[in-house]
Amino acid sequence: MSESETNTTHTSKQKHEFQSEAKQVLELMIHSVYSNPDIFLRELISNASDALDKLRIESLSDDTLSDCARDPKITVTVDPKERIVTIRDNGIGMSRDELVSYLGTIARSGTGEFVRAMQEAATSGRSDLIGQFGVGFYSSFIVADRVAVESRHAGSDESWLWDSTGDGTFTIEPADLEGNGTEITLYMKDKAEKDADGDDAPTKDYLSSWALRGIIKQYSDFVSYPIYLEETGKEKKDDEKSEPVNSMKAIWIRPEAEVSDDEYKEFYRHITHDWEDPLERIAYRAEGTNEFHALLYIPSHPPFDLFYREGKHGIQLYIRRVFIMSDCRDLIPEYMRFVRGVVDSEDLPLNVSREILQEDRQTAMIKRSLTRKVLDALKKMKTDDAEAYKKFWGMFGIVLKEGIVQDSRNRETILKLCLVENSRGETTTLEEYVARMKDGQKGIYYIAGGDVEALRNSPKLEAFRKRDIEVLLLGDPVDEFWVTAAGKFGDHAFVSVASADIDLPDGDAEATDEERASAKKLEDAGIAARLKEAMANLGGVAKSVEEVRLSTRLVDSPATFVQKGDPITPQMRAMFKAMGQEMPEEKRVLEINPSHPLVKRIADDAGDNYADWATLLLGVAQIADGEPIDNPAAFTKTLGKMLEK
């Protein structure tokens, strides 16, 4: 945005440019044949309703605003002769700076992605798709070729006029709007006119109160403030009282059977400003001593702030139909922060504060039952609609898994909801894994640290593959936390394949005579002990090696690390170190493969090169674990030297 005049007193008209993303969205609005132009009204009413919410909340803590907050309402006026539709609210309003920044930029989550999706929909000719995107204020330009916004911030003595024809610029100048709030004036396109591309402008006639009434009823019936409709030139008879167009019935109170799918979707759009339909909906009513209604949704794409510490939580709290606060963190656990929706309590006091909620027993009960409802819904989705569940898991699984650590009460349920990759290239649940466990298998084997593809190729899996034992590949950084916190699933302990003392049944995987002979030769030469000795003179990772031993688990790789005690991956160690945390001393065991040609060669060595062999084996083991090598230059030098021999 750039100001073309540098008038610091701001008393005259000033011209500004839209931010480039905003320009793109505007272009799309103006030129695309929008499949559903009706939505402009839904978007503007939704903004008006938000503005009334904001004012009501602010007036609670600011007495000077209580007059402004009286008699909240939204008025839609149509003037067929002048071809004008206005939407007026007496909400919080916008200051000059707010008009410039809110209406000149798009601060939407994933704006780039959004614009791309819009453009694709436009160019692919799938105009029906465009209709699925909510575009907020800018949707005015679908139906209007000029939009003027007059606004007065509640409590302010100035009002301002924002005006644009959507040509890439807008102007700002002082105005004289009465009272606080916002009035949006739409100069409607002429339906006979063609737009710049020769496309027809929206054919529908928005200039009759009859048409507007229908749209308001369809999209905004549940808005909790009265929406009045007036037509200029049509005088009301004296005894005719204005009735709001909308029923203001809270959708979450109505019995589910009475509400259509479309109404639920509209409400989701209203509270989230999302442009896609939700993946799942949960309507719930609790009766008894703690009565409340809840209407929750699981979005079909993740919000941009899912992993920000300050990211938004999606629950709005109402008390007996009155909006109290959004972003209410005490009603849903942290690990369900992707859930959106409304909770309406019958019993909480209206003057409740965030501090009170934190301590409140009723809130804790609501949270507990909502948690269970969401888990039930997920369980149902998992059995009834595997595709949808997979989609859910791909987006939010990583967040839900936090619950295994945070919520011991529901730990087992969440574990059952987990989808995990396994060493056979499949996605599995823990229950399925357990059902496939081999006779005598001692636990649920897993490998953690690094991404799934790297884990899949780890030398630590070789022994398991050879014995046809399945291993879970836990590739998310959080996985190592929960697997440690949970300890077991049902009666089966989680066992890391990096653990030094796993004993696997040999079965079909028994060593061949040749392998035995090779192992014997190395044993007789005391290779393991001699390598360990050589490590005394090496630094870095060698210092953490407590033992070197001949392995029975390796098949193709020369060496790997395993650990005594509770295995902690190098990735987790690095993370804790970065956070400045003390970690228990590392006790690694270097296992070397007696059947590997590289290791066999050591047996022929008279002893001059043990330090070099040790360097090589340590480096190889580190690389396979996705761990940085201590001294890459020294390693490659040794590698070169040994290859030459």
Interface residue list for ligand ADP (CB under 6 A): 43, 47-48, 51, 89, 91-94, 102-103, 136-137, 182, 273
Tell me whether residue 95 or residue 362 sits nearer to ligand ADP (CB atom): 95
Please, which residue, 102 or 433, has the CB nearer to ligand ADP? 102
Q: Which helix (H) or strand (E) holds 248?
A: none
Smaller CB distance to ligand ADP: residue 151 or 422?
A: 151
Closer to ligand ADP by Cβ: residue 89 or 421: 89
The smaller minimum CB distance to ligand ADP, of residues 140 and 209, is found at 140
Separation of alpha carbons 580 and 574, rounded Å: 10
- Residue identified by tokens 């090779």 is 518
Contacts of 37 (CB under 8 A, 6+ apart): 142, 143, 202, 204, 206
Tokens describing residue 565: 């005690």
Q: 238, exposed or middle or buried, with CB in 10 Å at 0-12, 13-18, 19+?
A: exposed
Written as one letter, the residue type at 552 is T
Q: How are strands ordered across the β-sheet holding 559-563?
A: 545-550, 588-592, 559-563
Pair 191, 203: CB distance under 8 Å: yes
In the chain, % helix, strand, coil (3-state, to 5) comes to 40, 20, 40
C-alpha 57 chain-centroid distance: 27
C-alpha to C-alpha distance for 415 and 407, rounded to whole angstroms: 11
Least distance CB 39 / ligand ADP (angstroms):
12
> Which residue number, 21 or 586, has a Cβ lying nearer to ligand ADP?
21
Q: How far is the CB of 130 from ligand ADP (least distance, A)?
A: 16
Question: Closest CB to ligand ADP among 93 and 567?
Answer: 93
Q: Which two tokens stand for residue 24?
A: 């793109």
Q: In the bound complex, what is the minimum distance in angstroms from residue 326's beta carbon to ligand ADP?
A: 12
> Measured between alpha carbons, how far is 23 from 30 in angstroms, rounded to an integer?
10
Tokens of 451: 């991404």
Smaller CB separation from ligand ADP, 137 or 464 = 137
Closest approach, Cβ 234 to ligand ADP, in A, equals: 25
Per the CB < 8 A criterion, the answer to whether 222 and 249 are in contact is yes
Token pair, residue 18, equals 């839209």
Q: Closest distance between ligand ADP and the C-beta of residue 447, in Å?
A: 44
- Least Å distance, CB 45 to ligand ADP, is 9
Min dist. Cβ of residue 98 to ligand ADP (A): 7
Q: How far is the CB of 275 from ligand ADP (least distance, A)?
A: 10
Closest CB to ligand ADP: residue number: 136
Which is nearest to 443 in space by CA: 484, 401, 504?
504
